[in-house]
């Protein structure tokens, strides 16, 4: 227990080093679910929850994760009306989830007319780290916490295609230039100047480099470091591979309006083929066997926690 004045004050990063430890797995409140069609999805959900919980019990006993509470919750979006917390995993349906949260919150009437820029730069949704300690703890204890994940390799290739194969005024000059400069021998002046045209193999060299020329980015950071699933006990674990049915079941669970359905549209580059297992295989061909293995190793915990198998 924290002293009262600390509980009530804002939470400066410098002194608060305690970790929010996940309580025991508690049952999902299913009182708002209508109809029998969700039975299979519910069974799958319970399996995912207990799988992650059992994994974390084993993993956490071996390795104590130390991190600031405020950092721990920095990727979590808050929707107070329906009492939900959403941890954002980029490239796993997050743009459409943020649209849905805006509708739930009364900020929009439909998920279909909210632009990409409004979703990502509009600052309409509050994050959990913007509350004081009491506000953070109360919501972690009382709200339904959910996360959507994706096969790590598909998520990685999807991020690469999105950020490096299309014009991008941030990723090319910031990441592209640094990657080409360090990993491309005899790079021409144009490439060094614009940072455009990064190859997948160069991107992987950057990812695996312990002395990266630029830092990590949320689009390819491990889920374990974005959402801390062994420290925060997520009540609901959705997967991109079953996005629509998982999302619509979740909306039932939290009592969303009956007419609110998870949007089906692809947020950006809608004419591009979705990043599938087959697309991933084509990209992995560009890597040596060792690079492929090291990339799997990089996402090792994400594979284990969410029960994915490598390609």
Q: What pLDDT, in 10s, does the model give residues 275-286?
A: 899 999 999 999
- Hey, what are 182's tokens? 């360090």
* pLDDT at residue 29 in the model: 86
- Do 191 and 184 form a contact (C-beta atoms < 8 A)? yes
Tell me: the pLDDT tens digits for 221-232?
999 999 999 989
* pLDDT at residue 71 in the model: 87
Among residues 298, 223, 231, which one has the least CA distance to residue 57?
Answer: 231
Q: Which residues contact 292 (CB under 8 A, 6 or more apart)?
A: 284
- Hey, what are 212's tokens? 């990266």
Residue 18 reports pLDDT greater than 70: no
Residue 22 reports pLDDT greater than 90: no
The share of the chain scoring above pLDDT 70, in percent, equals 86
d(CA 34, CA 251): 11
Alpha carbon 71 to its chain centroid, in Å, reads 15
* pLDDT at residue 32 in the model: 85
Task: Round the CA-based radius of gyration of the chain to a whole number and report it.
Answer: 20
Q: Which residue has tokens 């071996």?
A: 62
- Hey, what are 146's tokens? 């959910």
Q: What is the pTM of this model?
A: 0.88
Among residues 143, 7, 24, 18, which one has the least CA distance to residue 71?
Answer: 18
Tell me: the pLDDT tens digits for 195-214?
999 999 999 999 999 999 99
* pLDDT at residue 13 in the model: 41
Q: Which residue has tokens 């230039």?
A: 177
Mean pLDDT of 43-51: 95
**Alpha-carbon separation of residue 267 from 94, 111, 126, 200, 250 (angstroms):** 10, 11, 21, 22, 21
């Amino acid at each position: 227990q924290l002293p009262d004045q600390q509980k009530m004050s804002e939470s400066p990063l410098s002194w608060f080093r305690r970790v929010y430890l996940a309580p025991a797995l508690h049952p999902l409140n299913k009182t708002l679910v209508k109809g029998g069609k969700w039975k299979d999805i519910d069974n799958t959900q319970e399996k995912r929850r207990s799988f992650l919980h059992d994994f974390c019990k084993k993993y956490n006993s071996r390795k104590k994760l130390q991190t600031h509470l405020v950092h721990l919750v920095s990727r979590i979006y808050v929707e107070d009306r329906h009492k939900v917390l959403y941890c954002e995993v980029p490239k796993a349906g997050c743009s459409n989830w943020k649209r849905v949260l805006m509708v739930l919150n009364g900020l929009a009437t439909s998920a279909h007319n909210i632009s990409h820029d409004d979703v990502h730069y509009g600052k309409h949704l509050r994050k959990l780290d913007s509350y004081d300690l009491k506000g953070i703890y109360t919501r972690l204890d009382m709200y339904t916490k959910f996360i959507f994940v994706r096969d790590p390799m598909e998520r990685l290739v999807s991020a690469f295609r999105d950020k490096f194969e299309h014009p991008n005024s941030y990723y090319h000059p910031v990441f592209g230039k640094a990657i080409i400069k360090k990993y491309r021998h005899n790079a021409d002046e144009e490439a060094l100047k614009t940072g455009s045209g990064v190859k997948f193999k160069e991107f992987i060299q950057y990812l695996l480099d312990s002395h990266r020329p630029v830092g990590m980015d949320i689009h390819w950071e491990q889920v374990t470091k974005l959402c801390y699933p062994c420290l925060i006990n997520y009540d609901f674990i959705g997967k991109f591979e079953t996005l629509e049915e998982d999302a619509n079941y979740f909306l039932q669970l939290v009592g969303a309006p009956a007419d609110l359905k998870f949007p089906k549209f692809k947020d950006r580059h809608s004419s591009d083929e979705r990043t599938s297992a087959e697309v991933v295989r084509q990209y992995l061909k560009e890597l040596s066997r060792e690079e492929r293995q090291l990339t799997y190793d990089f996402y090792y915990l994400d594979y284990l926690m969410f029960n994915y198998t490598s390609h």
